[in-house]
């Protein structure tokens, strides 16, 4: 509710606090949101290393969108050293779950 201002005044810092509590308890969608918030600097200071950390946790838990985002991070070297082999691996995992954007990104890397 705080993230979007639904029924309350929008407060990104408060939203982060609640999402972080859930993320720390291995809630995958919360991990995705925390990663996004760090990547965009919403409610927290932008931190590509933290974004990587939270996308990695959600990706390892099997979330195809986190896997895609982890592929992006590896391919572009955001917060970590670029690693095309790792990017391909995560794009493939995401694509194997039906994420067409991941398959397209994988094709571009292999192209």
- Within a domain: 77: yes
Residue range 25-38: mean pLDDT, rounded: 98
Domain that holds residue 75: 12-110
- Within a domain: 5: no
Count of domains forming the chain: 1
Closest alpha carbon to 70 in 61, 42, 58: 58
**Helix (DSSP H) and strand (DSSP E) numbers for the chain:** 6, 0
- Within a domain: 62: yes
- Within a domain: 25: yes
- Within a domain: 6: no
- pLDDT value of position 66: 97
- Within a domain: 2: no
Are 82 and 70 within 8 A, CB to CB?
Answer: no
- pLDDT value of position 111: 81
- pLDDT value of position 79: 87
- pLDDT value of position 58: 98
- Within a domain: 28: yes
- Within a domain: 74: yes
Residue 83, domain CATH:
1.25.40.10
- The answer, as to whether pTM is greater than 0.85, is yes
φ, ψ for residue 70 (rounded to 5)?
-65, -40
The pLDDT tens digits of the residues spanning 50-94 come to 999 999 999 999 999 999 999 999 999 998 999 999 999 999 999
The rounded mean pLDDT for the chain is 96
């Amino acid at each position: 509710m705080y993230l979007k201002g639904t029924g309350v005044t929008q407060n990104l810092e408060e939203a982060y606090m609640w999402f972080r509590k859930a993320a720390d308890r291995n809630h995958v969608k919360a991990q995705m949101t925390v990663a996004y918030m760090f990547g965009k600097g919403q409610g927290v200071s932008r931190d590509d290393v933290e974004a990587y950390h939270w996308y990695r946790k959600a990706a390892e838990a099997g979330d195809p969108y986190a896997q895609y985002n982890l592929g992006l991070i590896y391919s572009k070297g955001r917060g970590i050293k670029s690693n095309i082999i790792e990017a391909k691996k995560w794009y493939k995992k995401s694509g194997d779950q039906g994420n067409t954007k991941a398959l397209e990104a994988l094709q571009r890397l292999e192209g």
